[in-house]
A and B are shown apart, each in its own frame.
Chain A
Amino acid sequence: MALLEVRDLHTRIKLKRGAVRAVDGVSFSVEAGETVGLVGESGCGKTLTALSIMRLLPAGGSSPRGSVLLDGRDLLRLDEDEMAGVRGNDIGMIFQDPMTALNPTMTVGRQISEAVRIHRGAGKRAARERAVEVLRQVGMPSPEQRAADYPHQLSGGMRQRAMIAMALAAEPRLLIADEPTTALDPTVRRQILELIDGLRERLGMAVVLVAHDLGVIAGHADRVNVMYAGRIVESARTARLYAGPRHPYTEALFDALPDRAAEGGTRLYSIPGQPPDPADPPAACRFAARCRYAQEDCRTQDPPYRTDEETGDRYACFHPVGTTQRTGAEPAAGTGIAAAGREPAPVQLGDVLLEVTDLVKDYPVTKGLLRRRVGTVSAVAGVSFSLRAGETLGLVGETGCGKTTLARLIVGLEASTSGTIRVAGEDLAALTPRARRRRRRDVQLMFQDTHAAMDPRMRTRAVVREPLDIQRIGDRAFREARIRELFEQVGLPVSALERYPHEFSGGQRQRVGLARALAPAPRLIVADEPVSALDASIQSQVLSVMKDVRSEFGLSYLFISHDLSAVRHLADRIAVMYLGKLVELGPAEAVRARPVHPYTRALVDAVPVADPAVERGRIVTGAGGEPPSALDPPSGCRFRTRCPAAREICARQEPPLARHGPDGHQAACHFPLVPLSAEEVDTRRR
């Protein structure tokens, strides 16, 4: 008998009109000591499945139907008191955002010991000792001191460790982890996933791992359930699923991974359209409208599960992958420019468009009434690079490395402390205000949070027209025509002009953002994490559109992301930033395949690969710990505090950015992973 058995679970969320069938007939089981993955796009019901098991539904959630058997006991039949005894005691839960899940007014130690006291009836002292013990168990550095800290005093990774410690305090038999790493940096993400893995083995827990990313799941789950529109569409052992998915949706999710497209040299696949309205799903296959294999029967009947008796693998599809020819043409990403499946022609590189030299940005830290300066946050510390017309430079780095500050400096939202930024040969700081405003057309910015970047009281027509109005480009009729043309180019219907930003999904809104950035016909678009907030399948849609308009308009991009695989899809060259400094810069493939700097290596290793064999067999050399504060950066090489190769010289002397290959590959490291050629050593000596 499985530890957890979920049978035919139905959960509805009541709305003002009607109800959303958030979970609609989900069944799966988890054995003791097993990790089961729950994967799907946002809104597919994976989080609500987890919350239904815990019976922690949001307001308007009806009590779930079906059964949730934990060791044979049906949790859905327990009364609220009994259920409270199950939560935390038998089932622990980790939430996506530890900042909101922890109480900001209590120390971490007290929160954990509270859990122990409730579930174990332990005394104050014993509970406190247990709290420190669990904190040590989850790898928290100096647990005694950290137990006395408040949540805001901890970094993101440490907060997530504290959350895990809290969930583990009463040694639950089942741990539900709801996107435990989504809010974390890649190098920290890997540490947390490995921690959960190790704890599961040591404590013999069962784990339900909820994620939207097939890569995250690959190395850590024994079995994967793929969810779509409130249902499990495919359930299989991990190795089997990654070797050959049978449900077209699973296949489409794989095809939408930028890494796969980059390896195969094919155009990134985007799943067309959007999931069905959860309040009124079709009485047929729910994926049929977006499916490449859909036949007539898919649109009229609901496919039953086909189960492999031996392994328990099952999927719900009439025409599984490999049995039928694809019917629909390969849908393009929504633009009319690139025909389906074809890569846009490569862009001819022009002259140097953007030249950044020794750029420095310090933020003073002041204290008290008189604004006494007590310190400096060194956000960007001497960055130099150049970008040619038609080229895309990917800028990669973790939270707080200064990449957003760099973007804001380049588009002119911040003034630099020193250094120069030249656009098409002109130093922006030296121009008159009027000329500088005119120059603003050439460089536009795409924001990460599109919701915040558009005035909620403006229709999208006004949003996209604003740069034209400000720059006084064309007359009324011209502007209107230009807006319509832009909307078609980014793949939005003209009717969308009448809508307000909040009526769009995240992917659509980012298309509006792209249209706005394109409006004044810029030469360079600085894209600050444009797809980080989006689902994988939507990410690929936006990336494809960005790629299409690049070749159409001969644009350059400065593409900023913490995710190496998204950058890789678009970038010709990649720059890696750590604590305000460039540590490596080179051709995209070279940087990824032969990283020279240990930090780049750690970033490359941190990218999850959607291949269980690779993921499990991986030996990670990566960086431990978390980035130090930019308020007081380490002397010499700023990465030395986390670097496995660091020696004494690294603390004394800052390594310069030096050549590491024939193709302009540069890195700043005393002990590069790829040794210098004799000729390079020679040049360096001179």
Chain B
Amino acid sequence: MRMLSPAFPEPGDPGSSAGALLEPAPGPPRSLFRRGLAAFLEHKLAVAAVGVLACYIVFCYLGPVFYHGDTSQVRMGELTRPPGAGRPLGTDQQGVDELGKLMRSGRVTLEVGVTSGLLASVIGTLYGAVAGYAGGWVDALMMRTVDALMAIPIVFALVYLAATRGRTKTVFILAIALTSWFGLTRLTRGDTLALKVRDYVAACRMMGGRTPRILTRHILPNTAGTTIVNTSLTVADSVFALSVLSYLGLGLPAPDDDWGGMFAAGAGYLDQGYWWMIYPPGLSIVLVIVSCTLVGDALRDVFEPRRPQGVTRLWPS
């Protein structure tokens, strides 16, 4: 190894001003994460959405610690009571306390939504990256398979899976995940196709880098934006899918339930004006889905700052 050149300008040497002025950008170096966070925090709506999601998590998981509404017993004397003392959100058609039930079904909804969203993202990203990087007939075969799967109506597939494989949480998670990774896989494949011909991938190959290194160091990190944005949107879709299934009466068997099931039960009493059975689960579904979507939109601006800003951004920051 060569020695350092001793002639590198000392401070105070007139030539050293060149070195000082070569400082790339003002301010201390910041990591991409810190910068992304700063960009995210500029989206007021998305920050509020994160707050809403956090509130729901606290509500569903810590709520039962402080609020002991009995959600397991059917009490014939307490059917469909409006909100009042001892039952802040009233009771349902079986006399079960609505607030307690909202917490418990919320856990099911969030767990199924988040897990299947994450699972779909993992499947979608890997499948798309492999197809895009392999190219040729492998790519053609893999993507035509996706096209064929996409042609199956999702509700039909969900209903079929729920009906034939039993109605457990695991089945719902798998069923929803397996029907919602197609969009992401197409996006990831597109990204990979564009990335694999980039000069920095060529540079890595030229240095002797092999495929695993290129995929893990250069291609997957650069598709992370697409993946993260879409994961939040997929979670929203999964919450919706589960609610739809439950609304159709194909949700988890009693006594387990989710927000979609609660909403369906309330919808049966629409004529009687039992609003406390409809609004709490309905609003919860809407708030969680909208929040996930807003977070996704903000993340899109974080990862792709040059894109036109998301439509859900109501006012400029």
Q: Do A and B bind each other?
A: yes
Residues on A facing B (Cβ under 8 Å): 272-274, 277, 289-290, 328-329, 331-337, 339-340, 408, 411-413, 437-438, 440-441, 444-445, 447, 449, 452-457, 459, 466-467, 470-471, 478, 481-482, 485, 488-489, 491-493, 495-496, 498-500, 503-505, 508, 516, 520, 552-553
B24 touches A504 (CB 8 A): yes
A329 touches B5 (CB 8 A): no
CB within 8 A of A289: which of B17, B22, B202? Answer: B17
CB within 8 A of B5: which of A331, A467, A488? Answer: A488
Q: Nearest Cβ in chain B — how far from A273, in angstroms?
A: 3
A503 touches B25 (CB 8 A): yes
Question: Which of B8-16, B49-57, B66-74, B80-88 makes up part of the contact surface?
Answer: B8-16
Among residues of A, the one whose C-beta sits closest to the C-beta of B9 is: A336
A488 touches B14 (CB 8 A): no
Question: Which of B184-192, B216-224, B244-252 makes up part of the contact surface?
Answer: B216-224
A456 touches B18 (CB 8 A): no
Give 17 CB contacts A-B under 8 Å: A272-B17, A272-B18, A272-B21, A331-B14, A331-B17, A332-B18, A440-B208, A444-B206, A452-B199, A453-B202, A455-B218, A459-B29, A467-B207, A470-B204, A485-B1, A489-B5, A491-B18
- B314 contacts the other chain (Cβ, under 8 Å)? no
| A516–B25 alpha-carbon span in the complex (Å) | 20
Q: Binary interface profile of B, 1-43, with partner A (CB < 8 Å = 1, else 0)?
A: 1101111110000110111111111100100100000000000
- B198 contacts the other chain (Cβ, under 8 Å)? yes
A328 touches B14 (CB 8 A): yes
A488 touches B24 (CB 8 A): no
Assess A455 versus B222: contact at CB under 8 Å? Given A491-B19, A499-B24, A499-B25: yes
- B205 contacts the other chain (Cβ, under 8 Å)? yes
CB within 8 A of B18: which of A334, A339, A496? Answer: A334
**Chain B residues positioned under 8 Å from A505 (CB to CB):** 24
| A552–B6 alpha-carbon span in the complex (Å) | 13
**Chain B residues positioned under 8 Å from A482 (CB to CB):** 1
- B200 contacts the other chain (Cβ, under 8 Å)? yes
B19 touches A493 (CB 8 A): yes
A491 touches B14 (CB 8 A): no
A470 touches B222 (CB 8 A): no
Q: A449-B199, A488-B8, A493-B23 are in contact. List 14 more A-B contacts (CB 8 A).
A: A331-B18, A332-B9, A334-B19, A335-B5, A337-B7, A413-B206, A444-B207, A445-B203, A452-B200, A453-B200, A470-B213, A489-B5, A493-B19, A553-B2
- B253 contacts the other chain (Cβ, under 8 Å)? no
- B268 contacts the other chain (Cβ, under 8 Å)? no
CB within 8 A of A492: which of B1, B22, B206, B209? Answer: B22
**Chain A residues positioned under 8 Å from B23 (CB to CB):** 493, 495-496
**Chain B residues positioned under 8 Å from A335 (CB to CB):** 5
Assess A500 versus B32: contact at CB under 8 Å? Given A273-B17, A329-B14: yes
| A337–B6 alpha-carbon span in the complex (Å) | 8
B206 touches A411 (CB 8 A): yes
A466 touches B32 (CB 8 A): no
| A445–B204 alpha-carbon span in the complex (Å) | 11
**Chain B residues positioned under 8 Å from A413 (CB to CB):** 202, 205-206
For chain B, the bracket of interface size reads: 35 or more
Q: Which 4 A-B pairs have the closest CB atoms?
A: A273-B21, A336-B8, A498-B29, A453-B199
| A272–B9 alpha-carbon span in the complex (Å) | 13
Q: Nearest Cβ in chain B — how far from A609, in angstroms?
A: 29
Decide if the interface of chain A is mainly helix, strand, loop or mixed: loop
| A287–B232 alpha-carbon span in the complex (Å) | 50
Assess A455 versus B217: contact at CB under 8 Å? Given A470-B208, A493-B22: yes
**Chain B residues positioned under 8 Å from A444 (CB to CB):** 206-207
**Chain A residues positioned under 8 Å from B203 (CB to CB):** 445, 447, 453-454, 466, 516
Among residues of B, the one whose C-beta sits closest to the C-beta of A440 is: B208
A488 touches B4 (CB 8 A): yes
**Chain B residues positioned under 8 Å from A332 (CB to CB):** 9, 15, 18
Q: Nearest Cβ in chain B — how far from A595, in angstroms?
A: 33
| A452–B208 alpha-carbon span in the complex (Å) | 19
A466 touches B209 (CB 8 A): yes
**Chain A residues positioned under 8 Å from B21 (CB to CB):** 272-274, 289-290
| A646–B93 alpha-carbon span in the complex (Å) | 97
**Chain A residues positioned under 8 Å from B4 (CB to CB):** 485, 488
Among residues of B, the one whose C-beta sits closest to the C-beta of A528 is: B199
| A88–B20 alpha-carbon span in the complex (Å) | 46
Assess A440 versus B207: contact at CB under 8 Å? Given A413-B202, A457-B32, A488-B8: yes
CB within 8 A of A466: which of B17, B22, B207? Answer: B207
Among residues of B, the one whose C-beta sits closest to the C-beta of A443 is: B206
**Chain B residues positioned under 8 Å from A331 (CB to CB):** 14-15, 17-18
**Chain A residues positioned under 8 Å from B18 (CB to CB):** 272-273, 331-334, 491
| A339–B209 alpha-carbon span in the complex (Å) | 37
Q: Nearest Cβ in chain B — how far from A490, in angstroms?
A: 10
| A504–B29 alpha-carbon span in the complex (Å) | 12
Among residues of B, the one whose C-beta sits closest to the C-beta of A272 is: B18
A445 touches B206 (CB 8 A): yes
| A478–B222 alpha-carbon span in the complex (Å) | 29
Among residues of A, the one whose C-beta sits closest to the C-beta of B222 is: A457
Q: Nearest Cβ in chain A — how far from B26, in angstroms?
A: 7
| A454–B2 alpha-carbon span in the complex (Å) | 26
**Chain A residues positioned under 8 Å from B26 (CB to CB):** 277
| A498–B19 alpha-carbon span in the complex (Å) | 16
**Chain B residues positioned under 8 Å from A470 (CB to CB):** 204, 207-209, 213
**Chain B residues positioned under 8 Å from A453 (CB to CB):** 199-200, 202-203
Q: Binary interface profile of B, 214-246, with partner A (CB < 8 Å = 1, else 0)?
A: 000110011010000000000000000000000
